[in-house]
Structure 1
Amino acid sequence: MGWQAAVREGLLEAGVGPDRGWTNEHLEGTKTGSSIFDENGIRHSAADLLEYADESQITVYLHAVVHQILFRTSFPGQIPVAYGVAFRDSKGNEHTSFLNGGLKNEIILSAGALGSPQLLMLSGIGPSDQLKAQGINVILDQPMVGQGMSDNPMNGVLIPTATPVETALVQVVGITEFGSYIETGSGLYVAPNAALANSLRGSFGDGLFKDMKFEAGIILEKVKGPFSKGHLELKSRDPNENPIVTFNYFKDPRDLERCVKGMEVIKTLVESGALSSFQYPFTSFESLMDFVATTPFNMRPRLFMTSPAHHSMEQYCIDTVMTLWHYHGGCEVNKVVDQDYKVMGVDALRVIDGSTLSASPGTNPQATLMMLGR
């Protein structure tokens, strides 16, 4: 039995039922979902559609960065109309590109949950006080741009295995009744530095990981929603400089409660009979937690290992939280864009990406966003 199949059996053993078989529906229980990787491990992304594009109707610029959407108004009081973009090529040369005439032509902004609100602000659409502080001409005072930023907290454990495991991304998912998705990946890992290798040896034996390579499975949870919200602010007028983003992980206690319950399910899963043959002898769930808590996977302060008073599942969630790259918000529907994803208050501009979402759908938002793009 391979790792993915064993985790599937372990989830059912841990009570994450019923067995849903293969399905793309987000139903409570354990299931196998779809993938953009085929049976040969080749990825098929939305970029594959370029193969079928009409070359006379499309131009693709590689390594180009848009730094401003251009707007015009014909007379005072008129709604601003997007008519072009200013961008820099890979050598830093500046260019402009303009829409053709016609009422149906428009600009579609698809820079992601971090890039789209940033570019709207750089173009003059956003909280006026923030734009003025950066010396940006205010096209539209829109205080909701950059608000409602969320990132689904991810926590879990890395399990070095005593037997080889297949290289696989998430295939099996357990959807709990309380709002956590339990997922797994597996393969060959390489310790990025001596500190991590030493941590592995300290947790699992001096004779292991001599070449800094090890087989492992990772079991993680994604907190649904989440309830916690944050915001995004400009750091500068440079589009290449990341904005300042605050996600406020676990600020809402309901998210922390879900994380704790999810980690308890993971503990039961790790201790299940289905996974027993993969693990090194005498490996406890507590040792796996200690390993993750002492490994610099993120830059957060670590209180989990400082004293018994902090040695709790709640503190483990807070200390070891990581991104699952499912961040969303900043241009939410009915706040920044309308039901057709048109930016409210201006014409000829839409936003089509995760910034329009108020919650990340399902175990992975990719399929939803690809359908939205279509």
Structure 2
Amino acid sequence: MKSARSSTRSATSCILPDVGRTPVPEYDVIVVGAGSAGSVLAARLTEQPGRRVLVLEAGPAPRTVAGYPPEARHAPSLAATDPAHPLNWAVPVELRRGHRHTVPRGRIAGGSSAINGTYFVRATPADFGDWAVSGWSYDDVLPCYRRLEHDLDFGGPVHGDRGPIRVRRPAGHLCSPLTGPFLAAAAELGIAAERDKNAGGPPGAGLIPSNAVEGLRVNAAMVYLLPNLHRPNLELRGDTPVARVVLDDDRAVGVETTAGEVIRAGEVVLAAGAVNSPHLLLLSGIGPADELRAAGIPVRHDRPGVGKNWSDHPGVFVPFHSGVPQPHPDAVGCQASINADSGADPAGDVEILLFARPFVPGGALHLMCGLQRPESRGSITVQSPDPSVRPRVEYRYLETEADRRRLRHAIRTAADLLRTGVFPGGRAGIGGDVLGVDRRLDGWIAANLTTAVHLCGSAAMGRGPDTVVDPQLRVHGIAGLRVVDTSVLPTAPRRGPAATALMIAERAATFFRSRPGTRTAAY
């Protein structure tokens, strides 16, 4: 095997596979997607000099931090989540029947970690217990959480102090004048304090860990990929969308780009996100056979769970007005949260987030009320063999009375917070005539429904017939193909999955066979 990638591509590498012969792969691993998980995985795999890795990113791939647009670098800015912004895929979805919406997804190296609100909270121990997947207990993954982070506030056995991602909570000039009153109001309602939301303790009210430092949004590509692009065994290509995985019988042998180029590899990893990774499986003929046939895609492997039974966090924004000054320009908007039990889940099935900065200048502030353990399940359905045709994404939110009841509970708790009088001049933007009547509140929720953009489980891991990947994230029935992103989580965790997406890739890197005579470098 060559020690570095070839500077020229062989003639056989650019044609569709011939079942009778398998050309020598150009790369050991192709990682599809330079987002949160893909960036981590590529950096870790190329710590072994003999392993050649190609990362294909559908969006632009800056080579320096300065190469990112200001709205991607400046942590308080959510400008790139606007549906018209070029860094946003703006995925069309249906939250409920007839309720159309667009979901922001990062269209740049770093993925959604390059445009999001920098909420960086781990999944809870209860989540890993619920999933009950071998090798994925809380104790199994804690070293991976520690490896990725440099926590600037807490140390000890729970936190890392040498990882690439710097994590801190709002403090000093970066703490909004509303953050203290929010936590004080929670205490007045009898909600316990949660001093460290990444310590794995009981739910409560506390400051939100953030992957933003002094106003800089630290996305995964910035600290995992960019510092390692000098490695001769790591190649990053931007603006290179993938159309499908190339299969030779029941083995993945490479990928085909939308430009028609076929690139061969010993192993393919889909890290394109919880919408695009299952879509690529479906475009490759891996998924529910009937749906593939209906879309005109030849069935290569019947796997009913692809794109099915996933979950996300439904939510609504409760507006309020306050006379306090705006936070410092470098302070993130999402500063503190309450994670609480609605009466159905001691680990915390509802969340109330304080957004201390208005979404538009002079506008209202918001408390986002989310349902963290919904019963509703969504579906992603391929529509065409043409990769440019978006799949149908149906959330099917709030289809059960239990989900509606628990979200009402979260909203009423938020209104109670605003009524404590602790918020200076705070007043809710929803009237008591609505809050007090279930039917009216359900109507208000339906009119204001949104999503936290935490889609998980569209290629779930496990051993059952409805799962897609095994505990080592290998696609069932297809050799040489893995999925490494939040698609694999059986359900959305009780906290947002940004930190967990990186952990998945750190964990996945340990599943690849080490090459003799190599050692893992330290960050």
Shorter-chain TM-score tier: 0.7 to 0.9
For residues 272 and 220 of structure 1, the distance between their equivalents in structure 2, rounded to whole angstroms, comes to 18
2:410 is equivalent to residue 262 of structure 1 = yes
**Percent identical:** 26
**2:388 and 2:469 mapped to 1: Cα distance?**
24
Q: What's 2:154 paired with?
A: none
Distance in 2 (alpha carbons) for counterparts of 1:37 and 1:269: 27
1:65 aligns with 241
Match of 1:244 among 392, 401, 404: 392
Query: Residue 445 of structure 2 aligns with which residue?
Result: 317
Say how many residue pairs are matched. Answer: 315
Please list the CA deviations of residues 71-123 of structure 1 after superposition, one character each: whole Å capped at 9, or x if unmatched. 103xxxxxx110100013xxxx3312111xxxxx4211011111111110100
Contact kept? 1:161, 1:215, Cα under 8 Å? no
Is 1:29 equivalent to 2:204 in the alignment? yes
Equivalent of residue 130 in structure 1, options 291, 312, 328: 291
| TM-score, normalising length: structure 2 | 0.57
What is the CA–CA distance in structure 1 between the aligned matches of 2:489 and 2:264, rounded to whole Å? 28
Match of 1:331 in 2: 459
**Displacement of 1:176 after TM fit?**
1.0
Give the drift of 1:175: 1.2
Tell me, yes or no, if the aligned pair for 1:27 and 1:175 is still in contact at 8 Å: no
The structural deviation recorded for 1:26 is 5.4
Q: What amino acid does structure 2 have at the position aligned with 1:261?
A: H
Q: Does 1:15 align with 2:143?
A: no
Q: Whole-Å Cα distance in 1 between the matches of residues 470 and 441 of structure 2?
A: 41
Structure 1 position 42 matched with structure 2 position 212:
no
Quote the residue 1:5 is aligned against. Answer: 180
Of 83, 101, 105, 2:253 maps to 83
Pair 84,188 (structure 1): closer, same or farther in 2 beyond 3 Å: same
Answering whether residue 340 of structure 2 is matched by residue 176 of structure 1, we say: yes
Aligned-pair distance for 1:134? 2.0
Gaps of 5+ in 2: 1-175, 343-348, 507-523
1:116 aligns with 277
8 Å CA contact 1:150, 1:247 repeated in 2? yes
The answer to whether the Cα contact below 8 Å between 1:222 and 1:324 also exists between their aligned partners in 2 is yes
The match for 1:362 is: 494
Name the aligned partner's letter for residue 168 of structure 1. V
The equivalent of 1:193 in structure 2 is none
**Stretches of 4+ moved more than 4 A in 1?**
308-311
Following superposition, the deviation at residue 215 of structure 1 comes to 5.0
8 Å Cα contact 1:163-1:215 kept in structure 2: no
**For 2:262 and 2:333, how far apart are their aligned partners in 1?**
40
Q: 1:106 to 1:240 in 2, by over 3 A?
A: same
Shift of 1:284: 4.9
Q: 1:186 aligns with which of 336, 352, 356?
A: 356
Give TM-score scaled by structure 1 length.
0.78
Write out aligned runs for 1:159-308 (5 A): 159-166=320-327, 167-178=331-342, 179-190=349-360, 213-214=361-362, 216-275=364-423, 277-279=424-426, 283-287=427-431
User: How many angstroms apart in 2 are the aligned matches of 1:148 and 1:162?
Assistant: 44
Alpha-carbon spacing, 1:284–1:98, altered in 2? closer, same or farther (3 Å): closer
Contact 1:72 1:83 in 2 (8 A): yes
> Which residue is 1:139 aligned to?
300
CA distance in 2: counterparts of 1:310 and 1:180, whole angstroms: 18
The CA RMSD over aligned residues, in Å, is: 2.3
Contact 2:457 2:492 in 1 (8 A): no
Distance 1:284 1:151 in 2: 26
Secondary structure of residue in 2 paired with 1:263: helix
Q: Distance in 2 between matches of 1:50 and 1:189?
A: 31
